[in-house]
Structure 1
Amino acid sequence: MEYGDKHILVLGAGASGIGASWVLAQVGAHVVLNDYKPVTLPADEEKRLVSAGVKIITGRQDESLLDGVDRIVISPGISLDIPIVKAAQARGIDVVSEVEVAYELSKSPIVAVTGTNGKTTTTTLLTKVLEGTGKPVRVGGNIGDSLSEVAYSMPADGFLVAELSSYQLETIKHFRPIGAIMLNITADHLARHKTMENYIAAKERIFENQLSTDFMVLNIDDPIVADMEHRVLSHILKISQHQVVPNGAYYDKGQCYVTKDGIATPVIGSDDIHIPGSHNIENILTVIALTYVLGVPAETIHRIISEFHGVEHRLERVKTIDGITFYNDSKATNVDSVVKALESFDQSVILLAGGHDKMTPLEDFMQLVKDHTKAVIFMGEAADRFEAAAKEAGVQPIYRASSMKDAVEQGYKLADQGDIVLLSPACSSFDWYSCFEERGDDFKNCVHMLQEGRHH
């Protein structure tokens, strides 16, 4: 879309909406940034938007905002079921995500990552490996900065790396990444998408506009992802930890291989990999497969993966106190993430879980918790439902915590030398915190405070 003199309504005054509003004003659009909640923007952001000509309206969201509007750009956290979006659709007004704006404005090709779990680790590692080409590389979307703002500043000869959620993909139109990764699909965000089929369909939009010259990495160890093969029109790269693949990457006997036309080249062995768990082998294989076809030599891929020690709030080792090691996995906002975390450790684990409940089924999850934990400590809004499900599954012992400090102190007292105390909530953070980062930082602060005044 050519934005000059177009009237654009941006819904949602978070990072995505602010970035999109500023960028659209730069390309000549008349922009209104709206949020139904009263929002006080940071002074520097408000000044930047106002000086760019953006009109900011918060605290109301009536249908009159649609008058004369050519397009709505919707922030990922906003449901398509809200009245103003329904009204816009009834009027025939285009509703697209900020990701679509980024695609329209980016001079660089885009590579994109989606899936239920592992997106941030994979996106971060993918960015680092592509930086090994020496080309300009920027990252945005569900991680880092507003994707449209990053896209606007990109030169033509680099790579724009996008971490994309189902919410962001739900409202794309022509968005087309030259390379994309589908990691895995498990039940998540069903409160928003209503059914698993809708959730899968939103994820699959990542490849709907790809051409035969583009690349799509599929994790064929995941049956839902493997089934997508029949709907992908681009060049498929498969990854697996259980079988050899002709094009893509696979793992066998402690070694990651990249393959092209059936010829396998060793890339990196597990001794040089510093992020624990088979789920991280999955993440690494997808990065190997995609970056290799994009022209990164195997030696460069090896070097950068061997230097990678993970991302903050994702199985992040915080500290060892009296032989007890604390791990911050605050980014584990669903049960499948916690399963992967628990399966990463051979030691006894005291699990700290709970938060804002996503209402996903817990029966199978609690059976696994029973097998993989020494004790559990539940907190937050989800604690009652989690405790009931844990008791039903025979999990014991079960404790409750009234704060993060309380949870950390209880975990420390329950642990013996060699044990793990793991914050892996299986919930979003919005009961006690504004985001998973704030929750993880609080956990780390509590661990450091514990060391300063410990008594075991």
Structure 2
Amino acid sequence: MILVYGLGRSGLGVLRFLKRRGMPARFYDDRPKEEEVAEALALGFSPDWGLEGTYAEVVAAPGVPLTHPHLEALRARGARVLGEAELAYRLSETPIVGITGTAGKTSTTLFTAHLLQGQGLKALPGGNVDPPLVEVVDQAEVAVAELSSFQLERVHAFRPRVAVLLNLGVDHLDRHGSLEAYHAAKLNLLKNLTPEDAVVYNLEDPKVRKAAEATPARPYPFLPQASPRETNLEAALQATRAYLDLLGRPLEEKALRESLKTLPEPPHRFQVFARKGQVVFIDDSIATRTPAVAAALRAAPAPIAWILGGEDKGADLLSLKALLPRVRVILAIGRDGPRMVEALGEGVEVVVIGEKEGRKALKRAVEEALKRLEAGSVLLAPLGASFDQFRDYQDRARAFREAVFALGGEPWTPPSS
């Protein structure tokens, strides 16, 4: 029997995946939401609220730390903990292109799927980017999976046909405990590669290069380009070439040129989506690393009402102090928002948003921002992870947009040239 631990986007996807295979399972969630429980029940699965059952395997949602006391207790009783990537690999024959790195995963995943589609393949993106990997593997000729360290720390036999390793920086230290543990989770992407697989890797990142060149997989190195977007595109091009090589197919250059004209853009990455008078609203919910937040603070129209907070991942806040002159007010949300603001020091007004429920917190943050701005921008660039108040960064983005439109924001359209 399988226990699906944690509902939300990933857990419900796993239950649907198991339902299609006629496999029995039960479910549990620390903070069950009525609508999610109702969906799980409608699929024909029952809960185990007391965690009293005996399970061979526990499929744990990525937001649940492996050190969670419940998971440790289940392991002590003989259960093996895995994630949706492992489950998808084990129960589906669809080949997987797996993509990870500290930065650039989402863009590279979307670009790779798009380029492979242009080559005539039914390539579908999933994983850390919507939808879950288990939702696409049954429909795709090849699944292109964005894989976070949270997902990769719970793989065992998982073996992508093409592994893409973009970079190894600093992130999620709150979750993994050390930089070494974080990097080790990322490098699980490579651990089962064979000479029949391919590895796409950043030639200028010494840790990436060392790890990639130690595998038996066919090497497809790439060099960073002038911008992050161009770098991610170069990685996607190499991943596309690598997969076509595995199929014994040539790259169709004319089709590639057409695909490059219509590249997709990642959702919730510095998107101006609404305005109210002379104030614009910017959704950068995906910005949970210092470089991304710094770029957002430089690009957003000043004065800025900056919505900051969530679960602190060990981010460097001091390097953002030089950008505070562009900020009119910081709205501190979530579990660690107030403490994160303290690390920035004085020099800007701070409003601590005390509401615990995420949607209420963001609505209050937008209200406080509009009290202080006649022009400029309200920027959601939280730097923190979302799991304290939301299912994921996309749920946080939706809540922000709902709040803006509820308070009179109107859809933004680019000025005509």
Please classify the TM superposition score into its range, dividing by the shorter chain length. 0.7 to 0.9
Distance in 2 (alpha carbons) for counterparts of 1:35 and 1:170 = 20
Amino acid at match of 2:332: M
The amino acid that maps onto 1:316 is Q
Q: In structure 1, which of residues 46, 59, 68 is the aligned counterpart of residue 49 of structure 2?
A: 59
Q: Is the 2:57–2:80 Cα contact (8 Å) retained in structure 1?
A: yes
Counterpart position of 2:360: none
CA deviation profile, 1:169-190 (whole Å, cap 9, x unmatched): 1121111111122223333222
Aligned equivalent of 2:365, options 404, 420, 431: 404
Q: In the alignment, what sits opposite 1:90? A: 76
Aligned residue in 1 for 2:255: 300
Identify the residue that residue 415 of structure 2 maps to in structure 1.
none
Contact kept, 8 Å, 1:404 with 1:442, in 2: the verdict is no
Gap runs ≥5 in structure 1 = 1-6, 242-250, 253-277
Structure 2 residue 87 is matched with structure 1 residue 101: yes
Q: Bigger shift: 30-39 or 282-291?
A: 30-39
Distance in 2 between residues matched to 1:167 and 1:428, nearest whole Å:
12
* 1:346-357 correspondence runs (5 A): 350=304, 352-357=306-311
Task: Work out the CA distance in 2 between the residues paired with 1:112 and 1:46.
Answer: 28
Residue matched to 1:280: 229
Relative contact order, higher structure (CA 8 A, sep 6+): 2
Out of 99, 108, 111, the residue aligned to residue 125 of structure 1 is: 111
2:309 touches 2:340 (CA, 8 Å); kept in 1? no
Provide the secondary structure at the position in 2 that maps to 1:144.
coil
Closer/same/farther in 2, CA of residues 29 and 430 from structure 1, 3 Å limit: closer
Q: Which residue of 1 aligns with 2:314?
A: 360
Q: Distance in 1 between matches of 2:116 and 2:201?
A: 19
> Which runs of 5 or more residues in structure 2 are unaligned?
245-250, 354-363, 411-417
CA distance in 2, matches of 1:438, 1:39: 14
Q: How many residues align?
A: 393
Where in structure 2 are the equivalents of 1:4-403 lying within 5 Å? Answer: 7-42=1-36, 45-50=39-44, 54=45, 56-61=46-51, 64-66=52-54, 69-151=55-137, 153-154=138-139, 158-241=141-224, 251=225, 278-295=227-244, 296-308=251-263, 310-319=265-274, 326-342=281-297, 345=299, 350=304, 352-358=306-312, 360-367=314-321, 369-370=323-324, 373=326, 375=328, 377-381=330-334, 382-391=336-345, 396-400=347-351, 402=353, 403=364
Letter in 1 for 2:312: K
- Contact conserved, 2:279 with 2:375, CA < 8 A, in 1? no
Is the 1:349–1:375 contact (alpha carbons within 8 Å) kept by the matching residues of 2?
A: yes
- In structure 2, what residue type is equivalent to 1:391? G
In the alignment, structure 1 residue 439 sits paired with structure 2 residue 396: yes
* 1:416-455 equivalent positions in 2, closer than 5 A: 422-430=379-387, 433-444=390-401
Q: CA deviation at 1:193?
A: 1.2
Q: Measured at CA, do residues 36 and 377 of structure 1 come closer, stay the same or move farther in structure 2, by a change above 3 Å?
A: closer
Residues 219, 239 of structure 1: 8 Å contact kept: yes
Q: Is the 8 A contact 1:113 1:182 kept in 2?
A: yes
Question: Could you tell me whether the CA contact under 8 Å between 2:104 and 2:232 is conserved in 1?
Answer: yes
Equivalent position amino acid for 1:60 in 2: G
Following the alignment from structure 1 to structure 2, what is the Cα–Cα distance between the partners of residues 386 and 238? 38
SS of residue paired to 2:106: helix
| Distance of 1:169 and 1:21 partners within structure 2 | 20
Percent identity at matched positions? 29
Partner Cα distance (1:240, 1:331) in 2:
25
Following the alignment from structure 2 to structure 1, what is the Cα–Cα distance between the partners of residues 205 and 303? 26
Cα 1:149–1:384 change in 2 (3 A) is: closer
Superposition deviation, residue 60 in structure 1: 2.4
Cα distance, 1:47 vs structure 2: 5.0
Q: Is the 8 A contact 2:329 2:369 kept in 1?
A: no
Q: Which amino acid aligns with 2:128?
A: N
Q: Provide the TM-score with structure 2 as the length reference.
A: 0.81
The RMSD of aligned alpha carbons is 3.2
SS at the partner of 2:97? strand
- Indicate if the aligned counterparts of 1:377 and 1:407 stay in contact, CA closer than 8 A: no
Q: 1:346 to 1:330 in 2, by over 3 A?
A: closer
